[in-house]
Structure 1
């Protein structure tokens, strides 16, 4: 993996500076390019992620921040981006086991040692490679996005463009829905010439529509109804 997109969230500027410098040294040694975003609060990170989901691979979170501490920030991050890798950083050893409830990659005491960062980055890169099969990669403008499959509601095409729709935003790119369908596989089913929906996002099918779990309604063409109903039934039985 040639590049890691890393977020650092800590309400202390000097702590962010120290961690970033340490990470840059480790990445340079590994010949991996790092792209960094810094945040001074959990609230700021979550607000940014609302319009930039899929733009970070790994986030280092300080546990002891203002109103929204690292643990609560992590829980909300998990809900927003299931594939995001999380690492906690703290000055207090008693918090070391707290991170397991949100599937954190690791827990580092300040200031983290180079060998600890090496180990965490090894795990992060391995997890990202493993999760590539569970994410959809698309390019919108000059940016590549990694969108966890579990976050996608549906794809919709409009002439030469396709929109990947999640709960919080849309990612528009040039492509064909047939190509997307082949790439995402059995988790999705074609319900219309223009729509490809994730079966796990569907609550029910009624009349000529599917109703998603968040209440959105999408059209189902007559020709797609039998295969769509079969796919939704299978997903319900397997889920």
Structure 2
């Protein structure tokens, strides 16, 4: 499922881009959701509660108050994996997009062949990033959480909390399944209820680890493997 945002203060421009997008995605037999925003303030307000939900965002550069470039800078501070594409009536702004890691730019009105090139690059970038994000599904939607931002997962029966450097996400599942889905040596099980990212640990003792001033217990059954793995991680960081 591809989650796409269109931010433009012109209803006509949003409608034109959406129409071209839907035709292209229909031809690809792709599943998608499209969210529309009429201002930079609107997309930033929505983004505050849906930090990792969008895969691709089209931003009009010339908007009042918060323009597309400023909105992109603020979004990029919170999300390093979202693909940003600027839509503009002028080519003068194109080079500014490189400062926020923009995937591409499109000139209005958006032409199908140019949009197709952008989508090809988007799908390729998403494929490359597949091993760098964790997909979290809950009642609010689907979130693409950069693995490097994850501190740890905790489990309370079937309710799992993913704690990151910026916020927490909750969803239902099994911690065993999360560990299997990650299939990543960067994560370590220290307890039946806790799965941590090794690089996030500030201190380790025989009975606990400290992550951002929070103490998490190491259970007896995981103690030997956990302490050995974390000690090795610390030594590698110092080397």
Q: Could you state the TM-score of these two structures normalised by the residue count of structure 1?
A: 0.85
What corresponds to 1:217 in structure 2? 214
Q: Shift of the alpha carbon at 1:206? A: 6.0
Distance 1:133 1:22, change over 3 A: same
State the distance in 2 between where 1:188 and 1:107 align. Answer: 37
Using the TM superposition, name which of 217-226 and 10-19 deviates more.
217-226
1:230 aligns with 2:232: yes
Other structure's SS at 1:111 match: coil
Paired with 1:209 and 1:42, the residues of 2 have a C-alpha distance of 44
Does the CA-based 8 Å contact 2:137-2:143 persist in structure 1?
yes
* Partner Cα separation in structure 1 for residue 176 and residue 75 of structure 2: 32
The whole-number CA distance in structure 2 between the counterparts of 1:71 and 1:211 is 38
What residue in structure 2 maps to residue 115 of structure 1? 113
Structure 1, unpaired ranges of 5+:
none
Aligned-residue CA RMSD (Å): 2.3
Q: Which residue of 1 aligns with 2:188?
A: 189
- Alignment CA distance shift 1:216-1:64 (3 Å): farther
Secondary structure of 2:49 counterpart: helix
Q: Deviations along 1:108-135, whole A, 9 cap, x unmatched?
A: 1111111000000000011112211111
> Which residue is 1:150 aligned to?
148
Tell whether 2:41 aligns with 1:43: yes
Alpha-carbon deviation of 1:179? 3.1
Secondary structure class of the residue paired with 1:51: coil
Q: Quick check: 1:160–1:174 contact (8 Å CA) kept in 2?
A: yes
Q: 1:144 to 1:169 in 2, by over 3 A?
A: same
- TM-fit CA distance, 1:142: 7.7
Residue 80 of structure 2, aligned match among 66, 79, 82: 82
Unaligned 5+ runs, structure 2: none
Mark the CA change 1:170 to 1:34 in structure 2 (over 3 Å): closer, same or farther.
closer
Cα distance in 1 for residues equivalent to 2:198 and 2:72: 27
**Contact 1:162–1:174 (CA under 8 A) maintained in structure 2:** yes
Deviates more, 1:119-128 or 1:30-39: 30-39
Q: CA shift at 1:94, angstroms?
A: 1.0
Match of 1:135 in 2: 133
Residues 56-105 of structure 1 deviation map (CA, whole Å, 9 limit, x = unaligned): 11000111222322222212222222211111111121111221222211
Spell out the pairing of 1:53-68 with structure 2 (5 A cutoff): 53-68=51-66
**Paired position in structure 2 for 1:27:** 25
The number of residues matched between the two structures is: 231
User: Which of the residues 10, 15, 18 maps onto 2:16?
Assistant: 18
CA offsets 1:128-171 (integer angstroms, 9 cap, x no match): 12211111123324844332212322111112232222222313
- TM-score, length basis structure 2: 0.85
Q: Which moved more, 1:15-24 or 1:69-78?
A: 69-78
